[in-house]
Amino acid sequence: MFPVGLYLLALVGGAALSAASLPLWRRWCLRIGLMDAPGHRKIHDTPVPLAGGLAVMTGLALPILAAGLWTWLGPLPEPFAHAVSHGLARRGWQLAAILGGALAMLGLGILDDKSDLSPKWKFFGQVLIALAVAASGIRVTLFVESPVFSYIVTVLWILTVTNAVNFQDNMNGLCPGLGLIGSWFFAWHAGVEGQYLVASLAFLFTGALAGFLPFNFPRGGVFLGDGGSHIVGFLLAVLAILPDFYSATSPHKWLVATPLLVLLVPLADLVSVILIRRRLGQAVWVGDNNHFSHRLVRAGLAKPRAVLLLLFISAFAGAVTMIP
């Protein structure tokens, strides 16, 4: 049975918790000075609280912890019991690794927001988190039966997607919007394949981003911050691995390319920006204004329209993956 009620509860619950917690996190950021100051490449002229990642993490983590505690204390009510209990029995440790990885990415990003970490230390932290996720059993195989290959490809995938999405945190609404669209399509792919826990996690993440988005787009009263963009990228990378795009019901091996379409905009932007920086002799990790969003604005689009165009392209590419 397709647990529509469970998915709706995850979607609405994630959104409600994220939105409700954001004003509290905003005040906390103001108190401790976790702010994004104006700068030469910034789009704002006053400091903005970096509370988005904390709110999204709240909308994601609290329902997961509540479901785990409820399952441990006693059976969940139907129709949620089978979907959640069975999923936790099969993937409980993996879910713990995902939640722990998201928290670690949030912490790494907040450290960067506060102390401006050097690229090598930030990269080192990302590698450790990716290795921990791979060790939990969440790995890319690409039909190659080699643990070493699987670990290498998984770590490279998580690093690539995390940083590609992190690069999209350059205009109001772009990074959370791309995260929302990506997680929505990964949720549906997992649900169609009967992977109820994966689908529930993806819908929960979709809801958490939806709860934050109105605070960020179009006016930008609150930002995700590096912590928030790290969470978005990390979870999209993991959600791209978890569904069985190739299975008995979907026997076409080309379907493993589905994540590339769902994540088309951030991945294409990453490649484009790296090529431009290499051509100009710049370090690939040093930020600039050559992302798709910046180029669309230079071409004459207003910033909100540039963001909406990129989100439309992302949604269209994701919709293509749903065609039978």
Domain positions in the chain: 4-252
Q: Is the dihedral of CA 203, 205, 209, 212 positive or negative?
A: positive
Contacts of 130 (CB under 8 A, 6+ apart): 101, 154, 155, 158, 159, 162
| Nearest of 201, 209, 217, 257 to residue 63 by alpha carbon | 201
pLDDT recorded at residue 242: 87
CB 317 within 8 A of CB 258: no
| Nearest of 74, 81, 22 to residue 225 by alpha carbon | 22
Q: DSSP string of 28-73?
A: HHHHHT-EE---TT-S-SS-EE--HHHHHHHHHHHHHHHHHHHHHH
- pTM, two decimals, is 0.91
Distances (CA, A) of 165 to 149, 159, 197, 279, 317: 24, 10, 24, 22, 16
CB 262 within 8 A of CB 202: no
CA dist 203 and 188 (Å) reads 9
CB 307 within 8 A of CB 177: yes
pLDDT recorded at residue 141: 79
CA dist 183 and 249 (Å) reads 22
CB 3 within 8 A of CB 83: yes
pLDDT recorded at residue 148: 92
Distances (CA, A) of 215 to 177, 222, 276, 305, 320: 12, 6, 32, 17, 30
pLDDT recorded at residue 144: 78
> Residue 236 carries which side chain, given as an amino acid letter?
L
pLDDT recorded at residue 80: 57
Neighbour tally for 147: CB within 10 Å: 11
CA dist 114 and 94 (Å) reads 30
pLDDT recorded at residue 246: 47
pLDDT in tens, the chain (324 residues): 568 888 999 999 999 999 999 999 999 999 999 998 876 555 556 789 999 999 999 999 999 988 777 766 666 556 555 555 555 656 678 889 999 999 999 999 999 998 888 889 999 999 999 999 999 989 987 777 888 999 999 999 999 999 999 999 999 999 999 999 999 999 999 988 888 889 999 999 999 999 999 999 988 889 999 999 999 999 999 999 987 654 445 544 556 688 999 999 999 999 999 999 999 888 888 888 899 999 999 999 999 999 999 999 999 999 999 887
CA dist 221 and 48 (Å) reads 7
pLDDT recorded at residue 150: 92
Cα distance between the two ends of the chain: 20
E strand or H helix at 49: strand 48-49
Give the SS3 label for residue 69: helix
